[in-house]
Every structure is written in structure tokens, then in C-alpha cells.
Amino acid sequence: MDMALEEAAIDAAEEERRRLQTQTELQDRYRTDLEREQTVRKQMEEQVAQKSTELEQYLQRVRELEDMYGQLEDALDDEKRARQEEEAVRRLQARLLEEEAAKRVELEEFHLRQQRALSETEAEKKELEKERLAKENALQAAMTQLEQLEQERHGALEQYQTVMKKLEDATNKTKTWKHKVAEHEGMLRLIQPAGASLSLTCRTFSTPPSDPTGARLIAPRFNVTKKS
């Protein structure tokens, strides 16, 4: 029994030794591969650093274009938020207009009832006087509410005009950056060096749903490689 346990312990120790040796070998191999990769990367970086002034200018243009795409994305986000604000204010203005129209109808009904009350016979005047006073009070309250609604509508109109101005600015900003991006892309194609190739990895910006063109903007990611 003790001998079997001793042999099992020896086997386990040997297995652990082999496992540790294998792990050490794998770590050494990984370290060697990593050093080799770092050496190759360093050599490639040194080669890129030795490129001509023309290629450096081209790379700078590429970075500028990527920055322009970032600016364009921000402009699209601003335009989207402005459209959402415009929609909210427009709904508010529509609701206030409906409430104002309903209040005007109510006022007209008050006036009609008051006129009918004034045309009643002399015998009913005392009773009608009480009703008239109550109706006048109700009329005054309704007129106060109407004035308040008119003020709210004017405030909503001013807010709507502000939001529309913001939407117009955001839309103009988007158009400006689209134009700049198009010009920059065309310039890049004209100045692309003969010894370099441009690899594009695209990302997509969705234009706002209200854009009549339904266009989708393709934003490239640029990788420049040297031809053999």
C-alpha cells in the first residue's frame, strides 16, 4: 500500500515536472516569437520613417480627412438632435393651438348665453342677474385662461423659431463638412504617390431620416502600404 502511494507520488511529481517544463518551453517560444515580431515591427517602422516628403504629406492629408469625418459625424449628430427638438416644439405648439381654439369656442358660448340672458323678460331679471354675474365671473376666468394660453403659444412660437434656427445651422454644418470631405477625397486621389497604395476600411454614417437623398456616408479608415 505504501509503495503504491509512493509510486503515485513519484508519477505525479514527474507529471508536474513535465508540465512545468512544457509551460516553460511554451513561454520561451512565445517570448521568442514576440521578440521577433517586435523586431519586424521596428524594422517596418524604420522603413516608414524613411519615406519621402511626398508620402509624409499624403499621410497628413489622410489624417486630416479622418478628422473631417469625425467633424461630419458630430455635425450629423447635432442635426439629429435639432430635428428632435424641432419635432417636440412643433407638437407643443400644435397642442397649445388646439387648446386655444377650444377656449375660444367656450368664450363664444359664454357670450351667446349672456346675450340670451339679457334678452329675457323683466320678470326674470333678478334671477338672471345672479346668473349673469356668475357667467361674467366664468367669462373673466376663461378670458384669463385664454390670455395665458396665448402667452404660452407665443413662448412656444419663439422656442420653435430658436429650434428651427438651430436645425438650420446644424443642416448647414452637415452640408459644409460633406462638401469639404468630397473635395479632400478628390485631392487625395490626385496626390497619391506612385510608390504607395491606399487601403480603405469603411464605416457608415446614416443620414437623418428626413434627408431626401437617402444617401449613406462612407467613412474610410486608411492604411498605407509600400509596394514591392
Cα atoms in the Cβ-side hemisphere of radius 13 Å centred on 166: 18
Q: pLDDT tens digits for 143-153?
A: 899 999 999 98
In a domain, 23, yes or no: no
Residue 157's domain spans which residues?
Answer: 51-226
Q: Which of 30-39, 90-99, 131-140 has the highest mean pLDDT?
A: 90-99
User: What gap in Å lies between CA 33 and CA 38, rounded to an integer?
Assistant: 9
Residue 154 maps to a domain: yes
How large is the angle between the packed helices 53-118 and 125-191, nearest 10 degrees? 170
Number of domains the chain is built from: 1
154, 108 Cβ separation under 8 angstroms: no
The C-alpha atoms of residue 66 and residue 219 are separated, in whole angstroms, by: 8
Q: Pick the residue with more confidence: 219 or 21?
A: 21
Least confident piece of the model among 5-19, 30-44, 47-61, 130-144: 47-61
Task: Give residue 81's pLDDT.
Answer: 92
Residues 6 and 180: their CA atoms lie apart, in Å, by 80
Residue 171 above 90 pLDDT? Answer: yes
Residues in the chain: 228
2 belongs to a structural domain = no
Which is more confidently placed, 2 or 145? 145
> Using one digit for the tens of pLDDT, what is the confidence trace for 38-58?
888 888 777 766 766 667 788
Asked if the model's pLDDT at residue 181 lies above 90, the reply is yes
Does residue 4 sit within a domain? Answer: no
Q: Tell me the per-residue pLDDT of 66-124, one tens digit each, with 9 for 90 and over.
A: 899 899 999 999 999 999 999 999 999 999 999 999 999 999 998 888 777 777 666 67
Burial profile 177-204: b = 16 or more Cβ within 10 angstroms, e = fewer: bbeebeebeeebeeebbeebeeeeeeee
Residue 16 lies in a domain: no
188 lies in a domain? yes
Element (H, E) at 197: strand 196-206
- Residue 99: the pLDDT is 92
Q: How high is the mean pLDDT of the chain?
A: 80
The pLDDT, as a whole number, for residue 161 is 93
| CATH number for the domain that contains residue 111 | 1.10.287
**In the predicted structure, residue 10 carries a pLDDT above the cut 60:** yes
Listed ranges 16-20, 164-168, 193-197, 202-206; the one with the highest mean pLDDT: 164-168
pTM listed for this prediction: 0.39
Residue 178 has pLDDT above 90, yes or no: yes
Residue 25: pLDDT band with limits 50, 70, 90: confident
Q: Is the pLDDT of residue 125 over 90?
A: no
